Amino acid sequence: MRLSVEGVGHAYGGTTVLDGIDLAIAPGEIVAVVGPSGCGKSTLLRLIGGLERPTVGGVFIEGDAPAGSLNPITTVFQDFALLPWRTAAGNVALALEDHRLTRAERDEIVADVLARTKLTDFAGAWPRQLSGGMKQRVAIARALAVRPAVMLMDEPLSALDAQTRELLLDDLRDLWVRERFSAVYVTHNLAEAVQLGHRVMVLSRRPGRIREVVEIDVPLPDRPARAAELEPMQRQLWQMMRDEAMAADRELTDAA
C-alpha cells in the first residue's frame, strides 16, 4: 500500500498553515518531517490520518492494505494518549475491541505486541505507574496491534527525557528492522530525523512549504555505527532550518 499526499494546503480561518505539500510514502519507508515550531507538521499528520480535511489537495491510498491490517493508518501521539482508567494491556485491547475478533484472538494479539515491545511484565500496570518511556512503548504496542501499513508518529519522543529518548530510538530502529513498517515521523529533533528517516523533509515556517527533501542513504541498521557520516547531514539540515527557526521564534502565534 502506498500513501500519497498531493498538493495539500490547509488553512485555519484566514491563516494558511500548509501550502503545496506533495509526498509519497512507499511501503517500508520512513519519512521524517522536520520544521520550526508552528510550521504545520502536526496538522500534516492529522490530514494524512483523516482527522481533518485539507482545504486544498488530497491524501490518497493506492493499492490494498496488507492482509490482516485492521487499521491501515495509525497514529502514535506525542503525549501517548493512553486511557488512565485502563491498564497497559487494556489500552492495547481498546484498539481491537471494535473489530470482529474472538476473545482468544484478541488476547493473543495483545500478548504478542506487548512481548514485541518488551512490556509483558507491565501488562497489568496502570498508566500512572509507568514512566514516560514505558507509556510511549504501550502506545507503540497499541499501534502495532492493529497491524498498520503506515504509522503516523507525531513527535513520539518529544515528551521524554534525553536518555529515554535514546533508548526508545534504538527500539524503534530495531522494530523497523523486524517489521519494515512505513511511517511519517514528525519531529523537531534533527538527530532523530537522521537516525530514523530514509528521507527527511524540511518544512519552512508558516505557511509550511517543502523547503528541501534530503535522502539519507545509510541503511537504518548501520546508522548507530556510522554516526560520523550522519553528522554532516544533520549539520546541513540545521543550516537549512536555523534561519526559519529564528524567524518562527519571533512570530506571534494565533493559530494552534
For another protein, the binding residues (CB under 8 A) are 49-51, 71, 74-75, 77, 79, 81, 83-86, 94-95, 97-98, 126-128, 142, 146
Cβ closer to another protein: 122 or 209?
Answer: 122
Taking the complex as a whole, the smallest distance from the CB of residue 136 to another protein amounts, in Å, to 13
**116 Cα distance to chain centroid:** 18
Cβ closer to another protein: 86 or 223?
Answer: 86
Taking the complex as a whole, the smallest distance from the CB of residue 85 to another protein amounts, in Å, to 4
d(CA 194, CA 33): 10
Taking the complex as a whole, the smallest distance from the CB of residue 146 to another protein amounts, in Å, to 7
Taking the complex as a whole, the smallest distance from the CB of residue 56 to another protein amounts, in Å, to 23
Cβ closer to another protein: 79 or 166?
Answer: 79
Strand, coil or helix: what is 58? strand
Strand, coil or helix: what is 25? strand
> Judging by beta carbons within 10 Å of its beta carbon (0-12, 13-18, 19+), is residue 151 exposed, middle or buried?
buried
Cβ closer to another protein: 98 or 217?
Answer: 98
d(CA 141, CA 77): 12
- Report the amino acid identity of residue 143: A
Taking the complex as a whole, the smallest distance from the CB of residue 223 to another protein amounts, in Å, to 29
Cβ closer to another protein: 97 or 121?
Answer: 97
Q: Is 61:106 a contact under the CB 8 Å cutoff?
A: no
C-alpha cell at 230: 550522519
C-alpha cell at 74: 495509525
